[in-house]
């Protein structure tokens, strides 16, 4: 049994708190917002983020950062991605040497183009940083619906240790050394999910969705390879797996925001309506900048940026994608 503090009391932090509590660990949930914890103490439910899912009575809530960090063997960082750096700065003074921090957030920092794991390592160099990712909506994990994820760490023994912590009969965990690939897949799928949602909002069909998923993972893999990630990771749970669930599920905030944009809402109106942070909007700019930096073609990411930040009409963006220069499907397969 381990002592685990979940840093973040939103839907994913709470979903994981239930899983880890059911696995027999001693779980504390922390938030920078005391009022978020007060509601949980009173109702054992977050009706905004995870309605209908009861948080077990033995899970503790503690807003004292020092206590939450120092009392834990493992920290699970589950804040909305734009607040990863500020939260890591807050935790840093209390983190012990080699204390585990499992990042479960998905995003790329816009100002630095760093993955969240790299942001955490920069702010908390003494920690052992891992990433957990994959097709895993909190609404389903919180209800014990069978789910699979992957944990990435630099050292194999850390991955095996964390695999044993998270794994259960309803939560199967694989391990991988490709931390970069896992972080990139989880972040970039949110951008493609916006496009998939837009296609739904425009009233397009399953063919369009399948095209976006397939060509979307091609773009993500191209960038990932150029940055040093492994191509197999993008064929795995944190790559195509997460992309499929995010593009298909009505639990997805990114897809739901996209649907609204496809129906004519502005980006800001869509984000307001979805109520939780729509991370694809933040990662879209970062993805485009990375594509330029690594000289990689990412046409869907380009069009999404035009729709989000240049007021481009969504159906025009689809036409531009359809009428691009003619291409070979995969550059690595030729007739020679």
Ligand X SMILES: NC(=O)c1ccc[n+]([C@@H]2O[C@H](COP(=O)([O-])OP(=O)(O)OC[C@H]3O[C@@H](n4cnc5c(N)ncnc54)[C@H](O)[C@@H]3O)[C@@H](O)[C@H]2O)c1
Ligand Y SMILES: O=P(O)(O)OC[C@H](O)CO
Contact residues: ligand X, CB under 6 A = 8-13, 31-33, 36, 49, 78-81, 83, 86-87, 104-107, 136-138, 276-277, 279
State the nearest-atom distance from the C-beta of 330 to ligand X, in Å: 29
State the nearest-atom distance from the C-beta of 149 to ligand Y, in Å: 9
Residue number with CB closer to ligand X (115 or 153) = 115
Point out which residues bind ligand Y (CB under 6 A).
Answer: 106, 135-137, 190, 193, 242, 245-246, 252-254
Strands 60-61 and 171-176: unpaired
**Do 153 and 179 touch, CB atoms closer than 8 A?**
yes
Q: What are the CA-CA distances from residue 23 to residues 18, 142, 165, 167, 280 (Å)?
A: 9, 13, 8, 8, 32
State the nearest-atom distance from the C-beta of 10 to ligand X, in Å: 2
State the nearest-atom distance from the C-beta of 282 to ligand X, in Å: 10
242-264 in b/e form (b: 16+ CB < 10 A) is: bbbbbbbbeebbbbbbbbbbbee
- Choose from ligand Y, ligand X, none: what does 100 bind? Cβ within 5-8 Å by kind: none
- Choose from ligand X, ligand Y, none: what does 104 bind? Cβ within 5-8 Å by kind: ligand X
- Name the catalytic one among 89, 156, 189, 327: 189
First to last CA, the chain: 57
Nearest residue to ligand Y by CB is: 252
Whether 189 is catalytic is yes
Residue number with CB closer to ligand X (9 or 69) = 9
Q: From 203, 177, 194, select the one nearest 282 (Cα to Cα).
A: 194
Distance CA 272, CA 26 (A): 35
Cross-strand bridge partners of residue 29: 6, 61
- Choose from ligand X, ligand Y, none: what does 254 bind? Cβ within 5-8 Å by kind: ligand Y
- Choose from ligand X, ligand Y, none: what does 81 bind? Cβ within 5-8 Å by kind: ligand X
């Amino acid at each position: 049994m381990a002592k685990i503090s979940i840093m973040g009391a939103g839907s994913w932090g709470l979903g994981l708190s239930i899983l880890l509590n059911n696995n027999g660990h001693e779980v504390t949930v922390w938030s920078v917002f005391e009022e978020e914890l007060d509601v949980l103490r009173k109702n054992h439910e977050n009706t905004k983020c995870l309605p209908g899912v009861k948080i077990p009575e033995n899970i503790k809530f503690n807003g004292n950062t020092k206590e939450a960090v120092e009392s834990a063997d493992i920290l699970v960082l589950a804040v909305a991605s734009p607040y990863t750096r500020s939260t890591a700065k807050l935790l840093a003074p209390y983190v012990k040497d080699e204390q585990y921090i499992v990042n479960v957030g998905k995003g790329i920092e816009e100002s630095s183009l760093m993955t969240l794991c790299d942001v955490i390592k920069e702010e908390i160099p003494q920690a052992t940083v891992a990433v957990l990712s994959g097709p895993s909506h909190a609404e389903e994990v919180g209800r014990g619906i069978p789910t699979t994820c992957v944990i990435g760490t630099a050292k194999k023994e850390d991955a095996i240790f964390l695999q044993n912590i998270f794994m259960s009969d309803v939560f199967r965990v694989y391990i991988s050394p490709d931390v970069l690939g896992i972080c990139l897949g989880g972040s970039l799928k949110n951008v493609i999910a916006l496009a998939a949602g837009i296609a739904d909002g425009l009233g397009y069909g399953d063919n369009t969705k399948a095209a976006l998923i397939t060509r979307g993972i091609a773009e993500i893999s191209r960038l990932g390879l150029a940055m040093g990630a492994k191509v197999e990771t993008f064929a795995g749970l944190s790559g195509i797996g997460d992309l499929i669930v995010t593009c298909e599920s009505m639990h997805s905030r990114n897809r739901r925001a996209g649907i609204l944009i496809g129906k004519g809402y502005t980006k800001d109106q869509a984000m307001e309506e979805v109520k939780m942070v729509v991370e694809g909007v933040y990662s879209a700019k970062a993805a485009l900048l990375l594509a330029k930096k690594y000289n990689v073609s990412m046409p869907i990411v380009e069009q999404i940026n035009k729709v989000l930040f240049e007021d481009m009409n969504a159906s025009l963006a689809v036409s531009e994608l359809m009428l691009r220069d003619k291409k070979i499907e995969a550059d690595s397969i030729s007739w020679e």
